[in-house]
Amino acid sequence: ASTFDVTAVRRDFPTLGDSLAYFDSVASSLTPRPVIDAMTEYYTSYRANVHRGSYDLSMRASQRFDDALTTIARFLNASTEEIVLTSNTTTAINLVAATLDFEPGDEIVLSNLEHTSNMAPWMRIANKQGVNVRWYNADRDGGFDLDTFRGLLSDRTKLVTLAHVTNILGNRLPVEEIGAICRERDILFLIDAAQSAPHLPLDVSKLNCDFLAFSGHKMLGPTGIGVLYIRRQYAVSLIPGVLGGGTIDTTACAAPTLDGCVLSDCSFTSLPDKWQAGTPPIAEALGLAAAIDYLTDLGLDNLAAHEEQLMHQLCDGLSAIDGVELYGPPNPADRVAVVSFNIAGRDFTEVGQLLNDRYGVAVRAGQHCALNYFFNELHEEDSRAGNVRASLYLYNTADEVDRLIAAVADIAAQGA
């Protein structure tokens, strides 16, 4: 039996109550008290900028901030020199897109299951710089075939950028193997870890990635903070696509006048400041570090065991309902947190609304920020462009899952 005590966990989350069954943690998770407390303490006790002042308040803030950065780096088994704080996964990916140089004819490999945030920045580069996108087209189960993937690579492939776990199906990609293939061929590899960071241990020394991005708000942390890991050799060699205060060593600028000032004459500050343009999200970094401590204290293994039990219960319950169709990996054990489904003859938006209004169950209905590509193919048979998505996290209970299953059964029984 698991040592995981969901009743005790739930007491840490002020938003939770009996009336709300929250099944949308994949969009954003709820926040436990220690995270809120860490941020409140900053605003009430040592509110100042970091690494800029020599007065006590700023020194204290800097110390706490540096500790938070250490916690974040350790979570990835990275060094603090490889960590950049951004606003979210989206800005982390955009920072990479603004940093890399592409030549016309270069290729980027993406999949049709990517979130818009890992598609749109690359589509812009494709459109503006004559770069070609090669698509990995996932099937409705979300399986990933390494040979098909290999077939998409060429001498012109510069970057492979893929979600570790997709927010559409909850399927998990074999990123270690993908990364090994990329490294063998000198191809850059970016992992969108927005959906894996909340659930899976991440060790960049094993993932074979050059960049990895995730958001605080999906893993019990605050909104307004994301993390970009940049492998050391690239953190050193690349010029950041976003520059500003903190990134340039102003004492070492050679130019005698402003007119003569060119970037190549400037020295960058040492890592990780070189990449941290402007004031970082300070309170949010403290909150994210508290979230990481909270998750690691509970134990990611314990969390996974709890979620897997609920996942089996949810998939079994939903599959047994007449007219309910599930998308994603057939084996519940292969899913991370997500169950997407439709009810035959029912509009997914209406189902999502009914679940909320009549049954007090919060789910997401729609395309989940994926562009049309996947949904058009997935729902070809009935030309549907979306589905209902329920997602699980540590605070969900077996009772809540039963409530969701009963509600879906009730709606399905009512027919169109």
Catalogue the active-site residues: 369
Q: Can you tell me which of 35, 96, 194, 197 binds ligand PMP, judged by CB under 6 A? A: 194
Query: Per CB under 6 A, does 118 bind ligand PMP?
Result: yes
Among 85-93, 137-145, 149-157, 300-308, the segment contacting ligand PMP (CB under 6 A): 85-93
Cα 353 to chain centroid, rounded: 26
| Residues of this chain, 346-385, that bind ligand PMP according to CB under 6 A | 369
What is the token pair recorded at 112? Answer: 């049709």
Q: Which CB, 125 or 412, lies closer to ligand PMP?
A: 125
CB of 115 to ligand PMP, least distance (A): 3
The β-bridge partners of 116 are: none
**Least spacing, CB of residue 251 vs ligand PMP, in Å:** 35
228 is a contact residue toward ligand PMP (CB under 6 A):
no
C-alpha separations of 2 from 223, 299, 304, 401 in Å: 30, 11, 10, 18
Structural contact between residues 368 and 349, judged by C-beta atoms closer than 8 angstroms: no
Q: Does 62 bind ligand PMP (CB under 6 A)?
A: no
Selected binder of ligand PMP within 117, 247, 276, 342 (CB under 6 A): 117
Note whether 89 binds ligand PMP by CB under 6 A: yes
Nearer to ligand PMP, 179 or 224 (CB): 224
Q: Express the helix, strand and coil content of the chain in percent, nearest 5 each.
A: 45, 15, 40
> Which helix (H) or strand (E) is 376 found in, with range?
helix 372-378
Residue 261 tokens, joined: 């000032």
Which stretch in 12-20, 188-196, 249-257, 311-319 sits in contact with ligand PMP by CB under 6 A? 188-196
* Smallest distance from ligand PMP to CB 8, Å: 28
In sequence order, what are the residues at sequence separation of 6 or more whose Cβ sits closer than 8 angstroms to the Cβ of residue 132? 105, 106, 107, 108, 126, 156
Q: Quick one: which of 192, 210, 307, 400 contacts ligand PMP (CB under 6 A)?
A: 192
Q: Does 215 bind ligand PMP (CB under 6 A)?
A: yes
* Cis ω for the linkage preceding 14 (within 30 of 0): no
Closer to ligand PMP by CB, 40 or 87: give it.
Answer: 87
Report in angstroms how near the CB of residue 124 gets to ligand PMP at its nearest.
16
**Choice from 31, 167, 269, 342 touching ligand PMP (CB under 6 A):** 167
Q: For residue 327, give the 3-state DSSP assignment.
A: strand
| Residue 348 Cα distances to 119, 143, 237, 353, angstroms | 24, 24, 48, 9
Q: Which stretch binds ligand PMP (CB under 6 A): 12-20, 113-121, 301-309, 405-413?
A: 113-121
Cα distance from N-terminal residue to C-terminal residue, the chain = 42
Contact pattern from residue 4 through residue 33 relative to ligand PMP, giving x for each residue in contact according to CB under 6 A and a dash for the rest: -----------------------x------
| Distance between CA atoms of residues 38 and 3, nearest Å | 26
**For ligand PMP, which stretch binds (CB under 6 A), given 87-95, 151-159, 348-356, 401-409?**
87-95
Q: How many CB atoms lie within 10 A of CB 120?
A: 15
Rg from Cα positions in the chain: 23
Q: Please compute, for residue 328, the number of CA atoms within 13 A of its CA located in the half-sphere on the CB side.
A: 30
Nearer to ligand PMP, 194 or 295 (CB): 194
Is residue 190 within 8 A of residue 214, CB to CB? The reply is no
DSSP labels for 387-410? EEEEE--TT--HHHHHHHHHHHHH
Is the separation of the CB atoms in 80 and 272 below 8 Å?
Answer: yes
392 forms part of the interface with ligand PMP (CB under 6 A): no
Smallest distance, ligand PMP to C-beta of residue 89, A:
4
Q: In terms of CB distance, is 31 or 117 closer to ligand PMP? A: 117
| 39 in contact with ligand PMP (CB under 6 A) | no
Does 340 participate in binding ligand PMP (rule CB under 6 A)?
no
Q: Which two tokens stand for residue 168?
A: 């559409």
- Which among 2, 27, 22, 1 has a CA at the least distance from the CA of 10? 22
Q: Which of 65, 68, 115, 295 touches ligand PMP (CB under 6 A)?
A: 115
In angstroms, rounded to a whole number, what is the distance separating the alpha carbons of residues 242 and 261? 18
- Residue 93 or residue 188: which is nearer to ligand PMP going by CB? 93
Nearer to ligand PMP, 192 or 284 (CB): 192
Binding stretches for ligand PMP (CB under 6 A): 27, 88-90, 115, 117-118, 163, 167, 192, 194-195, 215, 369
